[in-house]
Every structure is written in structure tokens, then in C-alpha cells.
Amino acid sequence: MEMLTLMDIPGTFAEISSKLFDSIAPSGSGDIIFSTDQYKPVSIKSLERKRCGCGEKLIIGSGATSGAERPPDWKLFLTNDDNKVQFIRLLLKLWSSDDYAVKLQGRKIILVCEDSAHLLTSDDGITTKIKELPLLKSSQEETDTRVVLYTQYAANSHYNTVRIKSPDSDIFFILLHFASTMDINILFDTKIQRRSRLINVTSIAADIGQEKCTVLLGLHGFTGSDTSSAFRGKGKLVPVKKMLKAPKFVPMLAKLGDNWTVSEDLIDDLEAFTCAMYGDNTTAGKVDALRLNRINKLCTKQGKSIPVNVDMSSLPPCRKSLTQHIRRVNF
């Protein structure tokens, strides 16, 4: 399983399809699952994408399979969700054609198109076979949350090792949480500051134990992920250090996601942890009091009743905002 960015875009859809296939499944590589996000018309992610801007919808006709030129601005083309859906359907049509039989011979390529997965194979290098895999059918919108399904499928298919390539830390923490439940060696291939690293997730999970794996997943969501906001300037290391110094926070973070509703006790505990993240030991774990103290210090420092040029995002959130953040993370 691999996530990648295709560089040097060729001039036609057919050439793009061929280059993409060769990029994800070069000759001599193992079996591959190629999955993209789903693009649902009504979802939180679709609203986020529309807010970021959307290109014009283009119709990819039948000529795309026989050399039709791609749009001049490929990046703009992919900002439209309908265009991306059409392109993925085109990949399925091209890759399942007999033209790809030679590339498919002796291997298995699984292409996920919308909510369905299709196994592409060729026994003789002349004809291509396509088979839908009901076990991999999923309505999950992001590939991040489907990676565990694909990994479990690989384990059930008796593979010894699976390698997931992605720059996304969300996937690492999700895999870490589930690693001990799957009978397969999980490798996470990623880049840290442009340096490639191959991390053995299974080994890490065995070393630190299931409780900490679960806690780290909750902590990752709480401190910022693809679907939750982050505390500016705090990153991941500061919260992890605070958690390790105060073991009382471990069972609290492990409760995130256990139930649909968040108890007031859990909100209180996470409020205290938030104060600890901001280095506070004086406000009895109350973020509103901590915000007031920080603003008062700024007033005293500037000698003014109302401070100026203050970056409000550097302050801890108020109780109401924090509560909504916790509910979002829990969901």
C-alpha cells in the first residue's frame, strides 16, 4: 500500500494512467493495493475542499482511453471532486483492459474505486481478469481510516509483511493502535524532514504495550490530526512529555472514543491536561483562569489595561471551545 505524488505529468490521460501504474507497481514489486480518498458530495471533507477552492468540472469522454489530451492545468483539474472521481473510474477502465495484461501477469493489483475494491490479474499476459472484492467494500471517506481494513485483508490472505507508504502521521498512530490485533508485520514507510524512514510498527507496539498504543492514538487526535484542530505551538512532543511525567493522564486519554458521549469528568480531566500542556501549575486546571492570567501578565508587561499586538492563538482555548474540541476528537 502506497501513497504518492506523480511528478512530470504526461500529456494524455492514457499516458498518465500508464505512468501512474508503473509508479505504484514497478516491475518486480509485490502485490499492491492502490486506494484514494472517496469524494462524497455531502460531508465535512467536501465542505473543507470547497472552502479551499474548486476548479471547473470537465467531462472525461471515451476518447480519454485512446490518447485524449489532459487539461493544461492538471492541479486545478484535481481540485474538482467530480473530476477526481471520473479519473479514478478511468484508471479502473484502463487498468482492467487487456492492454495491461503484460504488466499484471503473475501479480495482484487491487484498485479501490469509490467504495468498492477490484482485483486485477492476468494468467497469460494476454487477457486481464477483474473481480470485485466484497470484503474490502467500505464507505469510509478517507484512505487513512481504511488502511487498517487493507492491512487486515493482507493478514487474512497470509502475507507475512505489509508496507504502507505515506507522509501522514495519522496512519502511523492508527496502525500502532491496531498492530497487536493483526498477525502480520507492519512497516510504515515515511519521510521526516525529507529523510526516508522505514518504521516497524509491529515492533514498537510490542515494546510499549497496548495501553500506551491506545493512549498515543487518543493523544494524537487531541493534539491535532487531519480531522481535529491543534494547539498552536505545542506540537506533539510537549504533550507526550507531559503525559509521561504525569501517569495519571494515561487512563484519561485512553477513554477518548470509548463512548459516543463525553462525560463532564473526562472534560475536566482533559482541561487539566491542557493546562499542563501550557506549563500551568497555578489555576487548578481551569483554562479560563489560565487565559485570564496570561492576559493579565501581558497587560502588566506592556503597562496597559488592554494589551496590543497579542497573538490570541498562542493562548489556551476557553472552556467552551475546548469542550467542542474534545467532542470532535471523541467522535
Q: 309-318 pLDDT, tens per residue?
A: 667 788 889 9
C-alpha cell at 86: 471520473
Dist. CA 170–CA 33, nearest whole Å = 19
**Cα separation, 101 vs 264, whole angstroms:** 59
325 part of a folded domain: yes
Q: Both 193 and 228 in a single domain? A: no
Residue 166 in any domain: the answer is yes
Residue 8 is assigned to a structural domain of this protein: no
Residues 104 and 184 in one domain: yes
Cell of 190: 515515511
Residue 102, amino acid: V
The residue to which cell 515492533 is assigned: 203
How does residue 81 score in pLDDT terms, banded at 50, 70 and 90?
confident
Same domain (yes/no): 324, 281:
yes
| CA separation for the pair 38, 56 (Å, rounded) | 19
| 100 and 164 assigned to the same domain | yes
Write the DSSP symbol of residue 235: T
SS3 308: coil
pTM, to two decimals: 0.79
Looking at 188, 208, 228, which one is the last position of a domain?
Answer: 208
For range 277-298, the mean pLDDT: 83
CB-CB contact of 324 with 268 (8 Å): no
Judge if 321 and 247 occupy the same domain: yes
Asked if residue 215 is part of any domain, the answer here is yes
Question: What region, left, alpha or beta, does residue 30 occupy, with left being phi > 0 and alpha being psi -120 to 50 degrees?
Answer: beta
Residue-level pLDDT at 305? 60
Instruction: Report whether pLDDT(1) > 50.
Output: no
In a domain, 7, yes or no: no
- In terms of residue numbers, what domain contains 152? 13-208
pLDDT reading at 5 higher than 60:
no
Residue 1 falls inside a structural domain: no
132 and 273 both lie in a single domain: no
Residues 40 and 147 in one domain: yes
Query: Do residue 120 and residue 242 come from a single domain?
Result: no
Backbone angles phi, psi at 84, to 5 degrees: -65, -40
- Considering the domain architecture, whether residues 275 and 170 belong to the same structural domain is answered as no
On whether both 198 and 230 belong to a single domain, the answer is: no
38, part of any domain: yes
Is residue 91, in this structure, part of any structural domain at all? yes
Lowest mean pLDDT segment, chosen from 86-95, 172-181, 227-236, 313-322 = 227-236
DSSP run (H or E) holding 192: strand 185-192
Domain end call among 208, 223, 253: 208
Give yes or no: residues 200 and 251 share one domain: no
Residue located via cell numbers 471523541: 330
pLDDT score at 64 = 61
Considering its fold, how many domains does the chain have in total?
2
Regarding whether 200 and 296 lie in a shared domain, the answer is no
Q: How far is CA 98 from CA 81, 105, 123, 239, 285, in A?
A: 28, 11, 11, 53, 65
Output the pLDDT for position 60. 72
Q: How many CA atoms lie within 13 A of 195 on its CB side?
A: 4
What average pLDDT does the segment 69-79 reach? 85
pLDDT of the residue at 2? 44
**End of a domain among 190, 208, 226?**
208
* Mean pLDDT of all residues in 174-203: 90
3-state SS assignment for residue 2: strand
Residue 4: predicted pLDDT = 44
